[in-house]
Chain A
Amino acid sequence: MKGSAYIVGAYEHHTRHAPDKSVAQLHAEVAKGALEDAGLSREDVDGYFCAGDAPGLGPLSMVDYLGLRVRHVDSTDTGGSSYLVHVAHAAQAIAAGKCNVALVTLAGRPRSEGSSGTQPRHWGPNLPDAPFEAPYGLVTTNSYAMVAMRHMYEFGTTSEQLAWIKVAASHHAQHNPHALLRDVVTVNDVLESPMIADPLHRLDCCVVTDGGGAVIVARPEVAKSLERPLVRLIGAGEAVKGQAGGRLDLTTSAAARSGRIAFEEAGVTPADIRYASIYDSFTITVLVQLEDLGFCAKGEGGRFVADGNLIAGVGRLPFNTDGGGLCNNHPANRGGMTKIIEAVRQLRGEAHPAVQVKNCTLALAQGIGGQLGTRHGAATLILERV
């Protein structure tokens, strides 16, 4: 599969608040945006990918709404990591001859609909873990907070170190005119923001935004016929991790496996990566993934992220140069799509000049879906500019 597909189109919706649009409409708008970016038309699309944010019966509803004529659909849902999985599955489908041009869309309106990381989500009576978790007030924030608390206990990670992740994201977001939060913040600003779920402060948490994004994955012949820089998928990995029947290990994520698979396929190492999009639902999410992907050793994440090491032009590993989920955008409460899009911008040399990584030939995009504190999926993509 290596090298069998290219990302030829990428588009992030400019909105962060869309009370007057429908979710299906946002899906259509990002689909149009990605096709225009690629220089393709709707009629070129013969594969369609979406996840649980798509209304109704996913591809059935959306293919009809969008007026697509496709011969391959995939509605794999691994939460916020779904769209990275979709890119990998699209590459597999292309290699298998099942489609030539795959459209992947994400959109949602959690801000307009009043979604909050301190309120429980309801998944229905058949969920096997629900009777053992719902009574205890498990929500998104305290789930990730338990990971942070354990990481601090095992490795001495501090709130100041976690805060550096938000500080770096804010340094990037100041240059993004569409970012929800554009003010540069300091470590002290993070520590002095209200405690949400110990040890995570408000500024350790991502934003809640309406919006969406889309990418187009195409076979090499199609990619080379277009007048866009060539961004090739050279490695992909996916993994799922949970509570293991009570044999809990919260300080290592499924990114350890998804990353290993992707790096092996690509034949590169973390030291080769020039830019990394790292899923940032919370600051701790970034720290755990950086360790698990091998950018530093397990337990060293706090020291790795401190002192601006993730800031473009300053540190060793520029990350989330759009401002990430922490400052820019987290549409549909699913941050995987925007991770892919900023990696594509970097590889094309189309990031904001203030954050563009020089000679960015190799990038990684990393997603997490679900909750690190209970069950989650991880997906890793390694992309190169040809």
Chain B
Amino acid sequence: MTGRKIPAPQPNAEAKPFFDAAAEGRLLVKFCAACGSYHHYPRAICPHCFSERTEWREAKGTGTIYTYSILRRGVPAPYCIAYVTLDEGIAMLANIVDCDLDAVRIGQRVKVVFKPTEGGPPVPMFAPL
């Protein structure tokens, strides 16, 4: 990720526990006790069944690249954005880092890493396993 400054997320109250955990190197996802499903990005009320019985769970931190793209123009350096399908079964947007970007492929296995942002909490990204 050399060259790209990572803008700090501006978490609202609903999102704050996610970024507090990220500061401790933990990836949280929301699980709904009513329908037994995970979701992302996290909400207080489950987007699948509309129940309030959602709770934070620590994710395994591993997943598979669902899709990606490398932005090459109009930016200080190329960077790779991707959706990673977590082993919990839900996709999250992130960057793929710490690797040769031209070797990134759909279906590749990845694990979470946390990267500092400009004056804010760190954010989860993914690197090849």
Contacts and interface: CB of A to CB of B under 8 A. Distances in A.
B48 A135 contact: no
Given A136-B81, A245-B90, A196 B73 contact: yes
B100 to A, nearest CB: 14
Given A149-B106, A245-B90, A131 B15 contact: yes
A25 interface: no
A295 B6 CA distance: 42
A116 B74 contact: yes
B89 to A, nearest CB: 8
Contact of B71 (A147, A150, A197, A245): A197
Interface residues of B, number: 49
Q: Which of B12, B15, B38, B41 has most chain A Cβ within 10 Å?
A: B41
Contacts of A118: 71, 73-75
A183 B4 CA distance: 35
A208 to B, nearest CB: 12
Interface string A128-170: 1111111111110110011111100100000000000000000
Contacts of B79: 137
Given A245-B47, A248-B85, A149 B69 contact: yes
Contacts of A196: 71-74
A136 B95 contact: yes
B14 A128 contact: yes
B10 A131 contact: yes
Nearest to B118: A135
Contact of B40 (A135, A145, A195, A246): A246
Given A118-B74, A132-B93, A153-B106, A126 B69 contact: no
A368 B73 CA distance: 24
Contacts of B86: 246
Nearest to B47: A245
B41 A128 contact: yes
Contact of B39 (A116, A245, A250): A245
A194 B6 CA distance: 25
Nearest to B29: A246
Contacts of B62: none
A197 B70 CA distance: 5
Interface string B13-50: 01100110000000000000000011111010011100
A61 interface: no
A113 interface: no
A149 B96 CA distance: 15
B66 interface: yes
B4 A131 contact: no
Nearest to B67: A150
Interface of A: 116, 118-120, 125-126, 128-139, 141-142, 145-150, 153, 194-200, 202, 243-248, 250, 374
7 contacts: A118-B74, A146-B68, A149-B67, A153-B106, A197-B71, A246-B40, A248-B66
